[in-house]
């Protein structure tokens, strides 16, 4: 009997439609659907999180190299013989810096090599030098150690972005050179080098001859304070190997280097598929091992305007342009948007006209932003003749775009203020305007601010409409006012992404990162406002 009672629907109890087998199956099915839905939801969230992580990690890893810049310290001769203190502007500072650099490599003699060597330092060196001298005339009249920014290719190589370079390995046999410079022969004590060259893509010729073309890895042998680049190898007598090579850095003697005295450096990326030659690599390595190169925080990137030279390009101009544009946008969109929302929500009679206006405002929020750009071009530039590329026009166009967002958000938060507050104020004789401005608006303000900030963040990331009004122009100067030509962050990113120089790749990512930081800050403020002032009735 106890068994019968213990289960529902068993003997002694009427079977209910909620306890029979079909009901149990239904219940089970419901739980199964619930579990499925839960897992689907979790999977969707996980996938979204994964994509976000992928996006952020890609941008961050790409951007990090751009945060630092390599500087080369050179002894710059600023004696009166080179720089006339009376005519500071007439001096060719670039030439002075280049002289200091070529002096470091006395055996670089050919025109072509010299040009290559001069290219190691940034073309902006002269400008920096002139500015610093103007700021500190005490530098004049002597030789000063001055750090100049490296050219973008040199900089990228030192960051490890242009070529895969293996570490120096000691050669466990003797190396004997035939000469100290030019094309020389090197004799290795054993044949190990042959196998190594084969492993690195050397092409086999007759009689076991191995040729290292520009399509193979570069093998550099450093000894006797010089560097030789191997071009071909062949087996020698008594199990030795003979290599032909080009001296990149002169050796100091033809004395044989004992086992462990010579070092082999392998540059895995073939010379043909990288934008930096073996020569330049050797020069940079020499300068680096001499302790003349240091990596510094890239203040150029953060605090200068745009440039066609990657190492000289900065975001500050775009940041200032964005800031000026946002000020104009806020100054126009916020008061107009909030006023419109207050009128429509609190004062406007509910008739056909206001309904049409409402519907159109909602539709405006869905208009593609480039249409606003066209409108700005046609009305602000062509009809009113406002200046092209100026933050004032950009701000006006973005304000048009932000207006519906602010109006909709403001109306929503005005509507969220409970009617009991309005009744309370009206009930003690407050006028409509007093009710709205003393009670309703302050309570709606956090919501309005949140909506405004989100609208502004939206505007900050907008590119298309500003292309139409010419804010895509290449502008080097930092804009000083609302009517100066300027560009903005997203447009700057757009332009940099378009530039072919390898150095801009990192700058693009870093600029995206800066834009994201601003957006995150704005969104965080919106969230904090909402949390801080959220009120429950």
> Is the Cβ–Cβ distance between 497 and 422 less than 8 Å?
no
How is residue 390 annotated by DSSP? Answer: -
> Is the Cβ–Cβ distance between 404 and 421 less than 8 Å?
no
C-alpha of 422 from chain center:
50
Q: Which stretch binds other proteins (CB under 8 A): 18-26, 27-35, 425-433, 476-484?
A: 425-433
Binding test (CB under 8 A) with other proteins, winner from 23, 139, 331, 430: 430
426 counts as binding other proteins under rule CB under 8 A: yes
Of residues 312-351, which lie at the interface with other proteins (CB under 8 A)? Answer: 349-350
Measure the CA–CA gap between 276 and 287, rounded to whole angstroms: 16
Binding test (CB under 8 A) with other proteins, winner from 429, 500, 531, 532: 429
CA angle 304, 305, 308 (to 5 degrees): 115
Contacts of 454 (CB under 8 A, 6+ apart): 405, 409, 522, 523, 526
Q: How many residues bind other proteins (CB under 8 A)?
A: 20
Binding test (CB under 8 A) with other proteins, winner from 108, 250, 330, 425: 425
Q: Which stretch binds other proteins (CB under 8 A): 189-197, 422-430, 451-459, 494-502?
A: 422-430
Alpha-helix residue ranges (DSSP H) falling in 343-390: 352-364, 369-375
Contacts of 32 (CB under 8 A, 6+ apart): none
Q: Which stretch binds other proteins (CB under 8 A): 61-69, 128-136, 371-379, 436-444?
A: 436-444
Instruction: Output 422 or 458, the one with its CB closest to other proteins.
Output: 422
CA-nearest of 497, 518, 496, 506 to 325 is: 518
Binding test (CB under 8 A) with other proteins, winner from 427, 481, 498, 527: 427
**Site map 438..457 versus other proteins, x via CB under 8 A:** xx---x--------------
Nearest-approach distance from CB 452 to other proteins, in angstroms: 22
Nearest-approach distance from CB 430 to other proteins, in angstroms: 6
381 counts as binding other proteins under rule CB under 8 A: no
CA distances from 368 to 373, 460, 495 (A): 9, 16, 21
**Site map 222..261 versus other proteins, x via CB under 8 A:** ----------------------------------------
421 counts as binding other proteins under rule CB under 8 A: yes
352 counts as binding other proteins under rule CB under 8 A: no
Q: Which stretch binds other proteins (CB under 8 A): 238-246, 267-275, 361-369, 414-422?
A: 414-422
Nearest-approach distance from CB 160 to other proteins, in angstroms: 59
Nearest-approach distance from CB 309 to other proteins, in angstroms: 58
Nearest-approach distance from CB 454 to other proteins, in angstroms: 24
Q: Which stretch binds other proteins (CB under 8 A): 323-331, 332-340, 407-415, 423-431?
A: 423-431
Residue 210's φ and ψ, nearest 5 degrees, are: -115, 130
Written as one string, the DSSP assignment of 25-80 is HHHHHHHHHHHHHHHHHHHHHHHHHHHHHHHHHHHHHHHGGGGEEEEEEEEEE-ST
Largest CA-CA distance found in the chain, in angstroms, rounded = 119
CA distances from 234 to 48, 374, 457 (A): 58, 69, 66
431 counts as binding other proteins under rule CB under 8 A: yes
Across 2-41, b (16+ Cβ under 10 Å) vs e yields: eeeeeeeeeeeeeeeeebeeeeeeeeeeeeeeeeeeeeee
> Is the Cβ–Cβ distance between 129 and 96 less than 8 Å?
yes
Instruction: Output 115 or 535, the one with its CB closest to other proteins.
Output: 535
Nearest-approach distance from CB 436 to other proteins, in angstroms: 12
Nearest-approach distance from CB 339 to other proteins, in angstroms: 21
Nearest-approach distance from CB 354 to other proteins, in angstroms: 11
355 counts as binding other proteins under rule CB under 8 A: no
Measure the CA–CA gap between 210 and 198, rounded to whole angstroms: 8
- The dihedral over CA atoms of 115, 128, 64, 494, expressed in degrees to the nearest 10, equals -90
Strand, helix or coil for residue 153: helix
Nearest-approach distance from CB 353 to other proteins, in angstroms: 14
CA distances from 278 to 112, 163, 216 (A): 14, 10, 12
Nearest-approach distance from CB 453 to other proteins, in angstroms: 22
Nearest-approach distance from CB 310 to other proteins, in angstroms: 55
- Rule CB under 8 A: which residues touch other proteins? 349-350, 418, 420-431, 434, 438-439, 443, 535
């Amino acid at each position: 009997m106890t068994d019968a009672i213990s289960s529902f629907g068993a003997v002694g109890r009427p079977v209910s439609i909620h306890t029979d087998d079909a009901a149990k199956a239904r219940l089970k099915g419901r739980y199964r659907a619930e579990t499925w839905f839960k897992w689907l939801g979790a999977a969707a969230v996980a996938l979204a999180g994964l994509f976000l992580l992928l996006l952020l990690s890609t941008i961050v890893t790409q951007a990090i190299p751009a945060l630092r810049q390599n500087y080369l310290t050179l002894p710059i001769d600023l004696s009166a013989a080179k720089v006339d203190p009376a005519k500071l502007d007439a001096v060719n500072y670039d030439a002075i810096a280049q002289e200091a650099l070529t002096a470091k490599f006395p055996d670089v003699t050919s025109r072509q090599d010299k040009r290559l060597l001069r290219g190691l330092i940034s073309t902006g060196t002269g400008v920096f030098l002139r500015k610093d001298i103007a700021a500190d005339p005490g530098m004049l009249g002597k030789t000063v150690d001055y750090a100049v920014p490296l050219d973008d290719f040199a900089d990228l190589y030192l960051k490890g972005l242009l070529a895969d370079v293996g570490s120096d390995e000691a050669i466990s046999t003797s190396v004997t050179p035939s000469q100290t410079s030019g094309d020389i022969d090197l004799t290795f004590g054993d044949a190990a080098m042959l196998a190594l060259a084969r492993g690195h893509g050397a092409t086999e010729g007759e009689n076991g001859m191995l040729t290292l073309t520009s399509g193979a890895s570069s093998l550099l042998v450093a000894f006797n304070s010089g560097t030789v680049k191997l071009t071909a190898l062949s087996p020698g007598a008594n199990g030795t190997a003979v290599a032909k090579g080009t001296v990149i850095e002169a050796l100091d003697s033809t004395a044989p280097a004992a086992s462990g005295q010579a070092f082999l450096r392998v540059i895995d990326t073939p010379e043909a598929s990288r934008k930096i030659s073996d020569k330049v690599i050797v020069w940079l390595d020499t300068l680096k091992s001499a302790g003349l190169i240091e990596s510094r925080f890239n203040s150029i990137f953060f605090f200068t305007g745009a440039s066609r030279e990657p190492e000289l390009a900065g975001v500050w101009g775009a940041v200032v342009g964005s800031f000026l544009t946002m000020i104009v946008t806020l100054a126009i969109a916020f008061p107009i948007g909030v006023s419109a929302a207050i009128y429509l929500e609190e004062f406007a009679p509910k008739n056909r006209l206001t309904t049409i206006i409402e519907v159109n405002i909602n539709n405006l929020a869905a208009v593609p932003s480039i249409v606003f750009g066209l409108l700005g071009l046609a009305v602000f530039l062509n009809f009113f003749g406002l200046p092209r590329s100026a933050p004032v026009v950009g701000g006006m166009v973005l304000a048009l775009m932000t207006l519906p967002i602010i109006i909709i958000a403001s109306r929503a938060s005005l509507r969220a203020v409970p009617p009991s507050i309005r009744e309370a104020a009206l009930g003690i004789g407050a006028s409509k305007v007093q009710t709205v401005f003393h009670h309703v608006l302050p309570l709606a303000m956090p919501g309005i601010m949140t909506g405004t900030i989100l609208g502004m963040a939206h505007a900050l990331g907008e590119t298309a409409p500003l292309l139409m009004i010419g804010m895509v122009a290449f502008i080097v100067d930092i804009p000083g006012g609302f009517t100066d030509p300027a560009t903005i962050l997203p447009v700057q990113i757009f332009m940099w992404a378009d530039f072919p120089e390898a150095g801009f790749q990192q700058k693009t990512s870093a600029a995206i990162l800066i834009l994201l930081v601003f957006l995150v800050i704005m969104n965080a403020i919106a969230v904090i406002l909402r949390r801080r002032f959220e009120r429950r009735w």
